[in-house]
Structure 1
Amino acid sequence: MRRIVGSARRGRPGGRRFVDYPRSGRKGVRRWLPSWRQWLSACLLGGGGLAGLFTYVYVTVDIPDENDAASREANVYYWSDGTQMVSIGDVNRQIVELKDVPKSVRNAVIAAENATFYSDSGVSPQGLGRALVNMVKGQETQGGSTITQQYVKNTYLSQDQTVTRKVKEFVISLKVDQRKTKDEILQGYLNSSWFGRGAYGVEAAAHAYYGIPARELNASQGALLAALLKGAEMYDPSTSAANHRRAKARWAWILDRQVAVGRMSAKERARYKEFPEPLKESRSTSLSGHYGQTGYLVDVATKYVRQRTGLTDKDLALGGYEIHTTFDKRRVLQLARSVKGVLSRDLDPKRRAQDKGVQVGAASVRTRDGAVLALYGGADATRHFSNNADTTGVPAGSTFKPFVLASALQDGMRPDEKGPGGMTPVEALVEGGNATYQKLGAEVGQRRVRDVAVGAGMLEQSMARTDKSFPLGTSTPSAVRLASAYGTFARDGLQHDPYSVTSVTKDGEPVEGLEPARTRRALDARVAHQVDAALRDVAVDTVGRVVSKTGRPVAAGRTSDQDRFRASWFIGYTPEVSTSVTLFRMRPRDPLLQPLSGVGGSKSRHGNALTERIWRDALSGVDLAPGGKSKVGSPKAAALGDR
């Protein structure tokens, strides 16, 4: 009876259980130790379960769409010499093709991050295992990822450090490795990785650390950039002495590692003994670089691109555009230094109330084709948002008179004809002669004067209404447009619209619409020469005999002491470059220009002396001959002399 009851209790004939655990016939600890068959069964069952789970995950997890942030790029603006000026956008990234990354740089990254990249399956099971263990310990799940896994994390997944994300990374990496070539994966990795200094991708990193495009990196520089992939906050050598030590040690290890894995010869390795010190961190080429004059340059270039190509703000916000400008970095810096130097030397807003609120705008335009070489838009684009070089609202005053003279000469007037007061128009241009030009404008016809001014390059919308004051300069052209229009006199009457962008590309493809504007004849060559000669007399009268590096005199126009407009202008040109400078005063939140009387002291001539000094200082280093003689002796004395 007991045997029958026992058999029923065990549930199987003969008294044997389906799972003999705890083990019958064993005592003590051995009763609780599984047999080898039980161990094997458990392993097979667990392995089968894991295999089934992996199969399920592999089938259900597909390659997702790329993260928007992974493909988002900045718009990069370049100086006229091709060097990077600034990168503008939410993400400082410029995507490049793998062929544009030197092989030595690729080798450094592979040796440092994943030596078996070209032969592995795209995943590291050991790395996944370590990540899971770290998760259980409450530590970070990072560790041991292949280049493919890092690319997947950058491109397809969030940056959350969870087991779910790590498993997805593993599965997606297997699929990506099957569907993409190794070169495609490496290219994506190099374009999506974080290098510090606000730089995503190797191209942005090359500019941020060495001021060059990625294609110009050498093997030593590439090794340092590869070191940054381990953590830029720990390996940017310019951040601290400790970082410098870490960066130098890892740089050397990466070079040695390349030899060890066969990606560099020992002979080549021996060439790299000196650590490739990067540039000090500069925000001028990063996301925060929209400051100083750079903001004004970007403003002018972007506006030109929108006008000529049809690209909208929404298009540009998507990023990825490379915008090559006409701006000459040397001239831009010289112009800014000149303005700052003159204003700091000659203004004293703490002592003189008249010196408060003074604004300056300036622009340099190449006469042969209208390229805008430099401009000064204000003290700082982040604090003063209006671009003084490219805005209307400042009356031209006597600088408008050459267009009145040109219209009269174009209609057959002789330059030596006497006008009111016994002066010729040329003499009146030098002396001021408002009455002469007021009558001359009436005789020629104000509509005719207006057409000549617009034909020379000024914008129709900047022209004032035609009345008796119109010939005296009530119109309000920008500094860019006025410099360009004066260039028409320098180029025998040929007119070129000003332009600031030479080309725009995206993904290597050019954007259409940026072909240079056609050259137009605005004035007869005879007329242009006569006006040019008159303006050379103005230059002699104002700043003495100044000659360009080619030996030809400089021509100039300027506002006079007779002008009652609240603005001061000086425009001078060499045969190659025309530069205009304007000065005016404004109060905060008041759109009206303020009087210039007393600005800069009693000898500033209502600010006219200041614009002349800025022009002379800006041009002396780049256009004028160092030994140019003046009426009052040295060039410096001529530039600073008061009349």
Structure 2
Amino acid sequence: MRLPHALRPRRTTPAQTQAESPEGPHADPSAAPAGRRFIDFPRHGRRGLRRWTPSWKLVSGLATLSAVSLGGAFAVVYTQVEIPGAHDSARRQATVYYWADGSRMVSVGDVNRQDVTLAQVPVSVQRAVIAAENADFYSDTGVSFTGIARAAKSIVEGKETQGGSTITQQYVKNTYLTQDQTVGRKVKELVLALKISNSRSKREILEGYLNTSWFGRDSYGVQAAAYAYYGVPAEDLNPSQAALLATLLKGADSYDPALGPANHRRAVERWKWVLDRQVETGVMSAAERARHQDFPEPKKPVKPTSQAGQTGYLVDIANKYLKSRGGITGKDLADGGYRIHTTFDKEKVDSLAKAVEKVRKDGLDPKKRAADRHVEVGAASVRPEDGAVVAVYGGADAITHFSNNADTSGVPAGSAFKPFVYAATLEPLSAKVRAVEGADRRDQGGAKLSVAVPVPAFAGTPLVEAMTGTSHAPFVEAGKEIGLRNVKRMAVSAGLREESMAKLEPTFSIGTSTPSAVRLASAYTTFVNEGNQTEPYSVTKVERDGVPVDGFAKPERRRAMSDVVAAQVSGALLNTGWSALNAKGSDGADGATSDAPRGPVWAGATNAGDYMRSAWFIGSTEKLSTAVAMFRTKPDAPQLLGMQGVGGPDSERGNVFPVRIWETYHRTVDPAPSDRRADPLRPAEEAAAPGARETQEPGKPGKPGKPGKPGETQEPGEPQEPRGRA
């Protein structure tokens, strides 16, 4: 039986098929499929780029399929995740700090928290927190959809998620989860936040959030924070104080105004923003906002009694290192479970404290002399070998004197800054000399010859002589000549912090900058370590719940200045050390303070001509570099008090005392360096002219001899006499 004509298959030639194609006679016959495909990709009947461009139907279909799949997966997760039990604060482990020898130093970890009902929290506190953290808290679903999108994107990219959470999400994280910023934890947080939002009232969630949030100062919850910052219960907080507590939720480590000038500036700015934000969101009137113009300064933090004496200062320095090196926050530490091994040497810490107490007792009489009142001392000892901070003196007692004097940044260095000016002046000269004389000059016997850098003179005085004198003019002129930016660059390269540098004015070269004792002690090791600098460190190992925390390997050495410059500056520092230690004995009399044999001491110091309201002495031996600062301050005075008259008329504005503290301390912990490559300290006038030649043969130990002469330098790799041990 024959089919009707209309139903018979049409016979066409290849030419006819190509001619009748939608693309015309130039279409690619191979692109035409034998039959219709479920997914038309690459697209049939298309050529070039159009063949590989998906149609809108395909794109929309795939998007719909992805959304359905993601929604289905989320629904499965939602049904499977149960709301866990809340954290048990009593089960939190303490954070333990250890001395360098492995013995326990202190355990910190009692949870400071006292729950209150929402009715006990002033409305002003509730409004401030909501305005700062989640303005649409009462109308949202408990989650941030931007956070969900961010989490989804992170899942696809294999990255971690970050902040932007609602109050409900933060409450879930505080109460049920860890603080880890991982994708899995973020997804679980979103699911739990939805469940909590659907099963509890907003008031219950807000109450839980206020009772579990971290406010700093070891305070969990608004009640503990109210006592820690203002000494009152939460119900007595006023709107201005409430705005500051809301500010702290952004990060107490950065916004507690008592933790330094930068923190104070940030706190004031955000405090203003929180108040303004309440006006913007309609919960505070402009008239009420106008009544809150004065920043509500909180009381000073109080250390727990377990951190009395120097312990609190040691914990403070270790914590700062943890935060800067490993990204560990104050809340992390308060959550507990850490085992922190430090570089602090218990014997040296005790000896340094005793040395300060002895010199204060012998030389100061605050009951009889008004000038002896409000005197503070800060000191730090760093190991030149590797930069380890082995001891600090932060003040009389960490629980009564909160500021850490060993790590303060408000005491001008005065003449103790001059070595960095000298080094900056020598650096370009040494490069020229090295270029002319070569890097490997030897005599006929094969011994290396030193590269002599001409000693520059300014204001009619060679800088090497001005190092031990009281004249400032040569250094002011030197700074102008070489450029204050170059001086600053040298000081920072040697290890001083950028933020401690003063304005680049003519007085910059005579020490208006305010480095800490820790940083000055560390920076001076650069001169005795052949120009190499190592960042000071205070933590050697960190574990949490038995698992090692990465990021705490020893800092590596780096080149801060040429070895030629370092050797020449250290020659001048040896003379400064001799002059200071033999003129200002710890017993108050002239002459050397100890008959015990002593190796070389590289030192810098302030002098009576500084008039900078501070007294410094920094002395480095082969084993220890110790910086001691003395200054006067009191809470109600914005600036340091004058040092005139401290200790009586013969104290040289207090400059005799840091030297005596240094000598008393070093006599106990570092009486005689084991490798003595120099004779005992000798008068500066014995120093010979620059350009002297080394007689030591390559590869052989150096013979005992005189300390390095001013201007004397030598080639890289040649053992110096004296030099810091690498």
- Common topology (TM > 0.5): yes
Deviations 1:372-391 (A, max 9, x none): 00000001111110000001
Q: Which amino acid aligns with 1:90?
A: D
1:474 matched residue in structure 2: 512
Is the alpha carbon distance of 1:625 and 1:419 closer, same or farther for their aligned partners in structure 2, counting shifts above 3 Å? same
1:613 aligns with 2:660: yes
In the TM superposition, 1:578-617 aligns within 5 A as: 578-617=625-664
**CA 1:516/1:435 → structure 2, altered by over 3 Å: closer, same or farther?**
same
Cα contact 1:441–1:471 (8 A) shared by 2: yes
2:482 is the counterpart of 1:444: yes
Partner of 2:156: none
Q: 1:299 — aligned with what?
A: 316
Say whether 1:495 aligns with 2:545.
no
- The change in CA–CA distance for 1:73 and 1:436 in structure 2 (over 3 A counts) is same
Q: Which amino acid aligns with 1:596?
A: M
> Is residue 2:361 matched to residue 1:344?
yes
Match of 2:469 in 1: 431
Structure 1 residue 67: deviation in Å? 7.4
| CA–CA distance in structure 2, aligned partners of residues 312 and 421 of structure 1 | 51
State the 1:587 CA deviation. 2.4
Higher alpha-carbon deviation: 379-388 or 622-631? 622-631
1:467–1:68 CA distance, 2 compared to 1 (3 A): same
Residue deviations 1:182-225, cap 9 Å, x none? xxxxxxxxxxxxxxxxxxxxxxxxxxxxxxxxxxxxxxxxxxxx
Q: Which residue of 1 aligns with 2:122?
A: none
- Aligned-partner Cα distance in 2 for 1:394–1:515: 31
CA gap of 1:487–1:549, structure 2 versus 1, over 3 A, is farther
Q: Is residue 77 from structure 1 mapped to residue 97 from structure 2 by the alignment?
A: yes
**Which residue of structure 2 aligns with residue 316 of structure 1?**
333
Q: What does the per-residue CA deviation read over 1:388-434, in whole Å, with 9 as the maximum and x for residues that have no partner?
A: 00010100000000000001111106765462454211100011220
Hey, what's the Cα distance between the residues in 2 that align with 1:528 and 1:419?
A: 18
The answer (yes or no) to whether the contact 1:547–1:624 under 8 Å persists in 2 is no
The equivalent position to 1:419 in structure 2, one of 447, 452, 457, is 457
CA distance in 2, matches of 1:528, 1:442: 22
2:608 is aligned to 561
- Please list, as runs of the form range in 1=range in 2, the aligned pairs for 1:455-466 lying within 5 A after superposition: 455-466=493-504
Structure 1 position 486 matched with structure 2 position 524: yes
Change (3 A) 1:369 1:629: closer
SS class of match (2:340) = strand
Q: What's the secondary structure of 1:616's corresponding residue?
A: helix
After alignment, is 363-372 or 411-420 more displaced?
A: 411-420
In the TM superposition, residue 571 of structure 1 has moved relative to its aligned partner by: 0.3
Offset of 1:369 from its aligned partner? Answer: 1.3
Residue 364, structure 1, aligned to residue 402, structure 2? no
1:248-263 to 2 correspondences below 5 Å: none
Q: How does 1:37-56 map to 2 (within 5 A)?
A: none
Separation of aligned partners in 2, 1:426 and 1:372: 30
Instruction: Tell me the CA shift for residue 66 of structure 1.
Output: 9.2
Change (3 A) 1:631 1:585: same
Rate the CA distance shift 1:365–1:549 in 2: closer, same or farther, 3 A: farther
Cα distance in 2, alignment partners of residues 579 and 81 from structure 1 = 21
Letter in 2 for 1:76: V
Q: List per-residue Cα deviations over 1:443-485 (Å, max 9, x = no partner).
A: 1110000000000000000000101100000000000001100
Q: 1:387 aligns with which of 383, 404, 410?
A: 404
Correspondence for 2:422 among 377, 398, 405: 405
Q: Distance in 1 between matches of 2:672 and 2:477?
A: 39
Q: Which string of whole-angstrom CA distances, capped at 9 and with x for unpartnered residues, describes residues 566-606 of structure 1?
A: 10000000022110000000123212101100000111110
* 1:345–1:415 distance in 2 versus 1, CA, 3 Å: farther
Q: For 1:618 and 1:551, locate their aligned partners in 2 and report how far apart those are by CA, in whole Å.
A: 13
TM-score w.r.t. length of structure 1: 0.56
How high is the TM-score relative to the length of structure 2? 0.50
1:499-518 aligned within 5 A: 499-518=537-556
Match in the other structure for 2:352: 335
Give the match for residue 242 of structure 1: none
Structure-1 separation of matches of 2:626 and 2:349 = 12
Query: What CA RMSD, in Å, does the superposition of the two structures yield over aligned residues?
Result: 2.6
Letter in 1 for 2:662: W
**Which secondary structure state, in structure 2, belongs to the residue aligned with residue 314 of structure 1?**
helix
- Runs of at least 5 residues in structure 2 that lack an aligned partner in the other structure: 1-83, 113-302, 431-451, 583-591, 684-726
Distance 2:356 2:391 in 1: 13
Cα 1:318–1:303 change in 2 (3 A) is same
* SS across alignment from 2:635: coil
Letter in 2 for 1:349: P
**1:533 alignment counterpart:** 571
Contact conserved, 1:73 with 1:91, CA < 8 A, in 2? no
Give the aligned residue type for 2:308: Y
Aligned residue identity for 1:431: G
- Matched residue pairs, number? 376
**Residue identity in the other structure for 2:491:** A
Q: Which amino acid aligns with 1:452?
A: M
Can you give the 5+ residue segments of structure 1 that lack an aligned partner in the other structure?
Answer: 1-63, 93-285, 633-643
Asked if 2 retains the 8 angstrom alpha-carbon contact of 1:547 and 1:554, the reply is no
Q: Distance in 2 between matches of 1:487 and 1:548?
A: 25
SS of the residue corresponding to residue 556 of structure 2 reads coil
- Contact 1:546-1:554 at 8 Å conserved across structures: no
Quick one: which amino acid aligns to residue 516 of structure 2? S
Give the AA of the match of 2:103. Answer: T
Alignment of 1:101-112 (within 5 A): none
SS at match of 2:625: strand
Q: CA offsets, 1:549-572, max 9 Å, x none?
A: 996311110001110211000000
Map 1:192-271; keep pairs closer than 5 Å: none
Task: Return the alpha-carbon distance in structure 1 between the equivalents of residues 367 and 666 of structure 2.
Answer: 30
Supply the distance in 2 between the matched residues of 1:370 and 1:548 (Cα, whole angstroms): 29
CA distance in 1, matches of 2:456, 2:395: 42
Structure 1 residues 507 and 418 mapped into 2: Cα distance closer, same or farther (>3 Å)? closer
SS at match of 1:406: helix
Asked if structure 2 preserves the Cα contact closer than 8 Å seen for 1:546 and 1:630, the reply is no
Kept after mapping to 2: 8 A contact 1:566/1:594: yes
Map 1:110-149 onto structure 2 (within 5 A): none
Distance change >3 Å, CA 603–CA 475, structure 1 → 2: same
Give the direction of change, closer, same or farther, for the CA distance of 1:537–1:630 in structure 2 (3 Å limit): closer
Q: In 2, Cα distance between the equivalents of 1:346 and 1:552?
A: 27
Identity %: 50
After superposition, the Cα gap between the structure-2 partners of 1:603 and 1:415, relative to the gap in structure 1 and judged at 3 Å, is farther
